[in-house]
Every structure is written in structure tokens, then in C-alpha cells.
């Protein structure tokens, strides 16, 4: 039986909101996961056939002696497709359960304040579809519109999102508690 090698994908947006992504051998998972965290990116296993196919086209990443990773720029449409494919899978997390560091999927203040685990905003992760108001004050249409989370700040509170139905429009940031989460299987109002 010919089994494909397992591939980890490291991805994220840099400080200038430029997309990065690279593939790594899953046998190096602890080092890759740590490097992704040090870089402020996320690591996820390419689980589906489509994710594996896209991962094969990504540049190879490199881990430096400092523990940080080199994760090259990728085209925005490649990054968006990657985020969409990985959104169904949970990003890998460090195996150290004693850590109290916030992961990109968990708001930092939920850990500090001991918030209940059923906080609906804690479920928001990269790839989640959320409802947002327009960030443009001159837009005269009231309402909330479907958006896709493309990154989460290290503090877990600021989300970078793009409009779901208009992916070429500029991305914008919004606070986690200012959005509504659409659960899987729910149709968006757009």
C-alpha cells in the first residue's frame, strides 16, 4: 500500500497582512509547531486530498537554529484557498498541556479571566465564517454580512477578516466580541 507522506502546513499573515505559507514534513511536528508559534503563524496537518494537493505546490519551509521558521510569501488566492481547506481541520497545538499560552484559536483573556468553556467566541478560529458590520462608516446599509476569518492576533482578540462573497475587497480587523459566529451547517444570510 503506497501511503502519502504526512505534510504539515504553516501559514499566517505578517505584520503587513501579507500571506505566508509553507510545507514541512510532519515527522518534525514538535519543532514545526513550536516554530509556527514563535513566528506568530499556525500549523495544521494537510488532512484532505485537496489540502495535500495544495500543500504539494507550496514552497518548502525551513526551521532555523533559533527555532523560528522561514515561511515564504504566497499569493493571496492560494492563501485563501488554503485557509478554507484547513478550516475544517483543527490546527495542531503543542503537546505540552501545562502551557497557559493562548493559541490563535483561544482568546487570551478567556484564559486569564477563567471564562466558561462554553463562551461562543472561543470557537472562532481561522476559516470560521462570522457576521460583521461594515468597517466603513460611510456605508449606509445597516446589517451584518458573512465574513471569513483569515488570521487572529496573538492576543486572541483582534480578527482579520475578509468579506465571504467579495474576497477581492480589502481585509479589515474587528474585535472578537463584535462578530457573530455562524456554526457549521448554517447558511449565511448573503
Q: Is residue 91 part of a domain?
A: no
The pLDDT of residue 2 is 53
Residue 4: which residues within 8 A CB-CB, separation 6 or more? 52
Q: Which of 60-74, 83-97, 101-115 has the highest mean pLDDT?
A: 60-74
- Spatial separation of the C-alpha atoms in residues 14 and 16, rounded to whole Å: 5
Which pLDDT score is estimated for 60? 93
Closest among 112, 117, 107 to 158, alpha carbons compared:
107
pLDDT of residue 180: 83
Judged by phi (left if over 0) then psi (alpha if -120 to 50, else beta), residue 46 lies in beta
In a domain, 187, yes or no: no
Q: Tell me the per-residue pLDDT of 27-45, one tens digit each, with 9 for 90 and over.
A: 888 888 888 878 888 888 8
In this prediction, residue 140 has a pLDDT band, given cuts at 50, 70 and 90, of low
Residue 126 has pLDDT above 90, yes or no: no
Q: Is residue 97 part of a domain?
A: no
β-strand pairing of 158-163 with 62-63 = unpaired
Looking at the fold, whether 118 and 82 belong to one and the same domain comes out as no
User: Do residues 187 and 173 make contact, with C-beta atoms less than 8 angstroms apart?
Assistant: no
Range of the domain at 160: 108-181
Domain membership flag for residue 79 = yes
Q: What is the mean pLDDT of residues 128-147?
A: 76
pLDDT at residue 165 greater than cutoff 70: yes
The pTM assigned to this predicted structure is: 0.51
CATH of the domain at 154: 2.30.30.140
Structural domain count of the chain: 2
Would you say residue 153 lies in a domain? yes
Helix (H) / strand (E) containing 112: helix 108-113
Amino acid at each position: 500500500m503506497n501511503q502519502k507522506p504526512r505534510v504539515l502546513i504553516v501559514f499566517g499573515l505578517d505584520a503587513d497582512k501579507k500571506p505566508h505559507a509553507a510545507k514541512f514534513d510532519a515527522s518534525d511536528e514538535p519543532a514545526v509547531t513550536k516554530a509556527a508559534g514563535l513566528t506568530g503563524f499556525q500549523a495544521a496537518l494537510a488532512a484532505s486530498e485537496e489540502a495535500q494537493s495544495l500543500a504539494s505546490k507550496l514552497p518548502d519551509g525551513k526551521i532555523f537554529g533559533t527555532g523560528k521558521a522561514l515561511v515564504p510569501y504566497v499569493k493571496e488566492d492560494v492563501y485563501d484557498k488554503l485557509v478554507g481547506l484547513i478550516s475544517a481541520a483543527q490546527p495542531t497545538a503543542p503537546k505540552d498541556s501545562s502551557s497557559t499560552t493562548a493559541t490563535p484559536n483561544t482568546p487570551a483573556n478567556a484564559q486569564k479571566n477563567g471564562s466558561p468553556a462554553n463562551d461562543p467566541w472561543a470557537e472562532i478560529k481561522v476559516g470560521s465564517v462570522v457576521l460583521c458590520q461594515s468597517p466603513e462608516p460611510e456605508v449606509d446599509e445597516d446589517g451584518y454580512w458573512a465574513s471569513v476569518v483569515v488570521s487572529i492576533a496573538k492576543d486572541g482578540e483582534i480578527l482579520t477578516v475578509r468579506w465571504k462573497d467579495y474576497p477581492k475587497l480589502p481585509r479589515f480587523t474587528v474585535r472578537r466580541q463584535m462578530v457573530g459566529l455562524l456554526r457549521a451547517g448554517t447558511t449565511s444570510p448573503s
